[in-house]
Amino acid sequence: MTRPFLDNLSARRLFLDLHLLLRTVSGPGRGNDLDDVIQSLGFVQVDSVNTLARAHDLILWSRRGQYRPRALENAVARHRSAFEHWTHDAAVIPMQFYPMWRLKFARDDARMRAQWSEARRHRWEVEIETVLQHVADKGPACSLDVGPGEKRSSSGWWDWHPSKAALEFLWRSGRLVVCHRRGFRKFYDLAERIIPEEMRNRRIDDQEIIDWAMSEALDRLGFGTSGELAAFFEIVTREEAKAWCANALASGRIIQADIEMADGSRRLAFTTEANLDHARSLPEPSSHVRLLSPFDPALRDRARAERLFDFHYRIEIYVPESKRRYGYYIFPVLQGDRLIGRLDAKRFGKTLVVRAFWPEFGVRVGKARRSALMSELERVRHLAGADLVEYSRGWLNE
């Protein structure tokens, strides 16, 4: 039998639609609407970089223009509709996924205990019960509240003072939960005081969790290799992912298809008939210009972005005025189903300064596109807390 084929344009559109970036959808970006966005994405990466807005805030704002940071704070710290933990990095995760994270807790526990030599590990392992008792007796605590008198360091978590390392270990292994943040500093409390009882008491066996993680990843990516599906939540091992795909393929739950890449080559991937039908029924994309976070879930896999969109994220662009090369402080710009360029913008006080826009190869910046880009910058000004947008001389590199 001939394998199904998905051309590059359809593949890009399917991928973007599943990441809520193909169509313009209105919504308040708070409460149930925000919960739906996070659930649809699967998670939102949390990062402290804040040249314009924090990564998680820009990710959510790019999908809901009315979103403001307080809404995510409320989801985690007040409504408890989401919790913080780890996928490939720190992330905000829907609370209904909490029971599936028990496998992640157990594996993180074992990995962290095995990751350091016994001599190094002993420094923080002996503090675990002390830190846990401190939180139990005194309530939410941050790293400044534990380990008085211990030497402080910030060069890596294995170099943190022992009680801080113990605090992080207790969080990663599931006994503590990030209950809120102050600024960007995490405060931790006992899981039983934060996680809703229904989620805390629900037990699912490991095989069910593996099946859930792989199925949910495929639903959100549309297509992928076993490794890409495993990497989505980073719960399933690569070996488990290969076995799951083999069994799901044999039982007819998934199929294989040839996915066309941006350079015209084909890549064999797992998908479903439902995803292919979805790709065939998609409308034309919105012409809305979107400013994306460098950590946007659609772009976090740099190799996939290159294959699918011909977007070479790590390309070096020399920025003379700042004496540095392009990096995580440059924002990808999406229009429709195409990444059209990269933007250098930074907030200085109450001014959003736009220093440069570099269009991708073959992209023309005509009057309409320039107007759409400037409109998006005016919109993001409100998220950034700026009063005006200022454009540097020669900012538009046409």
Average pLDDT, the chain: 92
pLDDT of 176-199, one tens digit each? 999 999 988 999 999 999 999 999
DSSP code string of 217-240: HHHHHSSB-HHHHHHHHS-S-HHH
* Cβ atoms of residues 242 and 270 within 8 Å: no
pLDDT of 332-357, one tens digit each? 999 999 999 999 999 999 999 999 99
pLDDT the model gives residue 98: 98
Note the pTM of the prediction, 2 decimals: 0.93
What is residue 28's three-state secondary structure? coil
State the Cα–Cα distance between residues 291 and 341, nearest whole angstrom.
Answer: 10
pLDDT of 237-296, one tens digit each? 999 999 999 999 999 999 999 999 999 999 999 999 999 999 999 999 989 999 999 999
**Amino acid at the residue 213:** A
DSSP code string of 296-335: -TTTSSHHHHHHHH---TT---EEGGGTEE--TTEEEEEE
Structural tokens at position 61: 């704002």
pLDDT the model gives residue 154: 54
What angle in degrees, to the nearest 10, is found between the helix axes of 118-125 and 162-172?
Answer: 90
State the Cα–Cα distance between residues 166 and 287, nearest whole angstrom.
Answer: 49
State the Cα–Cα distance between residues 21 and 1, nearest whole angstrom.
Answer: 34
What angle in degrees, to the nearest 10, is found between the helix axes of 69-77 and 31-41?
Answer: 80
The ranges assigned to domains in the chain are 31-202, 289-391
pLDDT 10s per residue in the chain (398 long)? 699 999 999 999 999 999 999 998 899 999 999 999 999 999 999 998 888 999 999 999 999 999 999 999 999 999 999 999 999 999 999 999 999 999 999 999 999 888 866 656 667 888 999 999 999 999 999 999 998 877 666 555 455 788 888 999 999 999 999 999 998 899 999 999 999 999 999 999 999 999 999 999 999 999 999 999 999 999 999 999 999 999 999 999 999 999 999 999 999 999 999 999 999 999 999 899 999 999 999 999 999 999 999 998 865 555 555 444 455 678 999 999 999 999 999 999 999 999 999 999 999 999 999 999 999 999 999 999 999 999 999 999 87
Which of 236, 265, 259 is CA-nearest to residue 248?
236
Helix (H) and strand (E) counts for the chain?
Answer: 16, 15
pLDDT the model gives residue 323: 43
C-alpha distance across the termini of the chain, in Å: 48
CATH fold of 289-391, please? Answer: Aminopeptidase (3.40.630)
pLDDT the model gives residue 148: 83
pLDDT the model gives residue 245: 98
Across the beta sheet with 289-291, the strand order is 289-291, 330-335, 338-348, 351-359, 388-391
State the Cα–Cα distance between residues 331 and 329, nearest whole angstrom.
Answer: 6
Q: Within 10 A of 276 (CB to CB), how many other CB atoms are there?
A: 19
